[in-house]
Structure 1
Amino acid sequence: MQKGNAAYIKKMNLKLILKCVMNEHCTTRANISKKLALSKPTVSALVDQLLDEDWIYETGDGEASINGGRKPVNLMFNPEKGYIIGIDIGGTSVASGITDLNGKVCAYRDFPTQVNLEHELFKGIKQSVESMKQELGIDEAKILGVGVGVPGITNVKEGTVKEAPALKWKDFPIRERLKEVFDLPIYIDNDVNISALGEHWKGVGRNRKNLIYIAIGTGIGSGIMINGKLYRGSNYSAGEIGYLVTDRMHAKNYHPVYAGYGFLESVASGSSIGKQLSERLGRTVSAKEAFSLYQKKELTALEVIDFAIENLSLGIANYVSLFDPELIILGGGVSGSYHIIRQKMAVIMKRYTPRECEVVLTTFGKEAGIVGAVALFLKEFDTLIDI
């Protein structure tokens, strides 16, 4: 066997053993050997290496075998082996957090986006991270890197944002700018993509190989997981569900609510619902108030939101027919009103799909983007952890 092949096999076995310890939460050398079909000497040597490098630790004694004899020593994953910085740059706020290797958010900060967008955005990110590091007292060497989500089409290879209307960015060199702040590996992707990764890693999408995450807020976007892998498309713009045309007649007179937004967003996003109702009622109405009026059966709100529900349901039905996912996960501000529109959506989707698909709400709150950004880093960076 060539030396290079031997090193590769060793690293792959280390990853398998570490993943086994992580998945089992508490296991033994003997169980690992049996589960992975590796020899006991091989497992013992690699476990010793993981112990020396602090990836795992020994704890207590396991149960004795039925034949008596020495009790096996339990092995557990050490989530404090390293930490990761997660950053979610949104159109409204910039959230940042530091997590351990299990995705536990150990510290969290946020600040408004728009007032800081021109000059103070990256300075604010640096100040937030420095504040969290000081709070946690983390050794700099333990921070492995940075994961970042942005609300726009992102070239993940080049680290540039091709277009992000909410941030007024076009061909923006975000990785280059972040390199001025962090001397660490940095991985960047669309914010909805990282939300899909976060749900797949630690959320309601765990143990599902095929899922769609749809965020309904200022715009409408989606992240697509196929066979456990994020699908980005040939130009990194897969999942732009907001551009779906769900009403041919209305599409003839379609004019974007904002430049860079698509037809479905123009009729079913939170911002468009609020805008349409504001124009028709002659006063400013937020999406939240719009759904409150809808519950009170205010006629104009009924017309606007019923039309939005119909188009949104058709868009999601198209996804179900096209991708046959195990699960559809809804996030974003409008998802908070899902209980109001759930039944109508289900009826429309059932009518137009070959089979029913479970639709659920995201399991995360304000920390969703942080967990997703960390999941992105662990997916892309070559560590022993394989999520």
Structure 2
Amino acid sequence: MQKSDAASIKNINKQLVLSCIRHFEPISRSQISKRIQISKPSVSLMVEQLLQEGWIEEKGPGESTISGGRKPVQLVFNPKAAYVIGVDIGGTKVASGITCLNGKVHAYREFATSDYLSKDLFKRLQKDVSSMLEDLWLSNSEILGMGIGVPGVTNVEQGIVLDAPSLKWKRYPVRKIASEYFSFPVYVENDVNTSVLGEQWLGAGKSLRNIIFISVGTGIGSGMIINGKLFRGSNFSAGEMGYLVTDYENAKSYHPTYEGYGFLESVASGSSIGHKLSAVKNQTVTAKEAFTLWKKGDESAQKVIEEAVEQLGYGIANYVSLFDPDLVIIGGGVSESFDDYKASLIEIVEHFTPQSCKIVRSTFGKEAGIVGAVALFLEEHDSIIRL
């Protein structure tokens, strides 16, 4: 066996030991050995290295053995061994945060996207990151890296946003530009893909192997975990749910709410709801205001929202029939009113699908994009810490 092969196997085994501790803590050295089928001496050696590097900690003695022998020392993961920065670049705001390795957000910042979209967006982001590092008394050396979620088709391998209509970005080299401001590794991905990774890591889809995350906001997009892995498609554009056609008659006279938007998001997104109700009311109405009017019994709002929910239901029914997921998660701005239209949505989906599928609201609030971006980094970056 070549030295490089031996080193690679050793590193893989070290990852296994750390992963075992993260998932089954507190745990002893002998318990690790039994779980991952690696000899006790090898486990002990790797544990010592992990202790020296700060990835794990010893936590007092465990329970005594049956024979009454010495109690084994318990090992636990150290989530503050390093930190990751998550960034969510949306059409309305840019949110950023710093999390420990358990995904807890320890600092948060945001600013209006429109104020910096044409100039100095990453310079402004750098300012927020520096501010958060100061607040947490952290140095750049304690940051593993950064994950960035963007509302558009993204080539994650090259870090290029191929098309993001709401940001007016085409072939925009996000990773290259970000690297001019940040010294650590940067990964970029479509924001709904980061969201579904976050849900699988810490949210409603924790440990599930088949998850559909649907973001209903300005537009409609989805991220898919299929057989435990994020599915991106041949051109990084899998999950463009907004382009589904759910109404043959309306499709004949289809005009997108915004240039570059697909049929479904032009009849069922938050922007579509606001756009249609504004036309009826002859005044500007946002989607949030539309739902408020709906709850108050406004007939126009009721008609617009019910039509949107119906079309969204058809789209979700198609997804459920095609992919047979464990779970469908609804996120985005329109998910804030999920409890109000949940029953209608589920009824429509169940009517058109071969079997029922659980549909729930996203676990996370304003920090969803940040947690997802951190999950992206941990998924993509080749380090000892993996999702």
User: TM-score scaled by structure 2?
Assistant: 0.98
1:172-183 matched pairs, under 5 angstroms:
172-183=172-183
Q: Equivalent residue for 2:34?
A: 34
Identity of aligned residues (%): 57
Partner amino acid for 1:155?
N
Q: Deviations over 1:314-338 (max 9, x none)?
A: 0000000001000000101111111
Q: Equivalent residue for 2:66?
A: 66
Shift of 1:165: 1.1
Partner amino acid for 1:359?
I
Q: Equivalent residue for 1:213?
A: 213
Matches of 2:289 and 2:93 in 1, distance apart? 21
Q: Indicate whether 1:347 and 2:347 are aligned.
A: yes
Q: Equivalent residue for 2:157?
A: 157
Q: Deviations over 1:313-366 (max 9, x none)?
A: 000000000010000001011111111111111111111101100000111011
Question: What is the DSSP-based 3-state SS (H/G/I as helix, E as strand, rest coil) of the residue aligned with 1:79?
Answer: coil
Q: Equivalent residue for 1:54?
A: 54
Q: Equivalent residue for 1:239?
A: 239
Matches of 1:127 and 1:2 in 2, distance apart? 46
Matches of 1:64 and 1:27 in 2, distance apart? 13
Q: Equivalent residue for 2:286?
A: 286
Question: What is the DSSP-based 3-state SS (H/G/I as helix, E as strand, rest coil) of the residue aligned with 1:166?
Answer: coil
Q: Equivalent residue for 1:199?
A: 199
Matches of 1:241 and 1:119 in 2, distance apart? 31
Matches of 1:289 and 1:114 in 2, distance apart? 22
Q: Equivalent residue for 1:301?
A: 301
User: TM-score scaled by structure 1?
Assistant: 0.98
Q: Equivalent residue for 1:86?
A: 86
Shift of 1:40: 0.9
Matches of 1:189 and 1:151 in 2, distance apart? 9
Question: What is the DSSP-based 3-state SS (H/G/I as helix, E as strand, rest coil) of the residue aligned with 2:166?
Answer: helix
Q: Indicate whether 1:143 and 2:135 are aligned.
A: no
Shift of 1:120: 2.8
Matches of 1:55 and 1:313 in 2, distance apart? 45
Q: Equivalent residue for 2:131?
A: 131
Deviates more, 1:295-304 or 1:181-190: 295-304
Q: Equivalent residue for 2:111?
A: 111
Partner amino acid for 2:321?
S
Partner amino acid for 2:350?
K
Matches of 2:306 and 2:53 in 1, distance apart? 58
1:262-273 matched pairs, under 5 angstroms:
262-273=262-273
Q: Deviations over 1:102-146 (max 9, x none)?
A: 111111110110121111311110000000011111132111111
**How many residue pairs end up in the alignment?**
387
Matches of 2:83 and 2:288 in 1, distance apart? 37
Q: Deviations over 1:141-193 (max 9, x none)?
A: 11111100011111111111111111111111111110111111110000110
What residue ranges of structure 1 are gaps of 5+ in the alignment?
A: none
Matches of 1:207 and 1:16 in 2, distance apart? 17
Shift of 1:4: 2.6
Partner amino acid for 2:83?
Y
Matches of 2:303 and 2:104 in 1, distance apart? 43
Question: What is the DSSP-based 3-state SS (H/G/I as helix, E as strand, rest coil) of the residue aligned with 1:6?
Answer: helix
Q: Equivalent residue for 2:2?
A: 2
Shift of 1:385: 1.4
Q: CA RMSD in A?
A: 1.0
Matches of 1:140 and 1:89 in 2, distance apart? 22
Matches of 2:55 and 2:347 in 1, distance apart? 49
Q: Equivalent residue for 1:315?
A: 315
Q: Equivalent residue for 1:386?
A: 386
Matches of 1:303 and 1:105 in 2, distance apart? 40
Q: Deviations over 1:69-92 (max 9, x none)?
A: 111001111111111111110111
Matches of 1:176 and 1:37 in 2, distance apart? 42
Matches of 2:220 and 2:269 in 1, distance apart? 6
Q: Equivalent residue for 1:257?
A: 257
Matches of 2:238 and 2:248 in 1, distance apart? 22
Shift of 1:285: 1.1
Matches of 1:299 and 1:368 in 2, distance apart? 33
Matches of 2:296 and 2:132 in 1, distance apart? 44
Matches of 2:271 and 2:196 in 1, distance apart? 22
Question: What is the DSSP-based 3-state SS (H/G/I as helix, E as strand, rest coil) of the residue aligned with 2:80?
Answer: helix
Matches of 1:386 and 1:111 in 2, distance apart? 30
Question: What is the DSSP-based 3-state SS (H/G/I as helix, E as strand, rest coil) of the residue aligned with 2:385?
Answer: coil
Partner amino acid for 1:213?
F
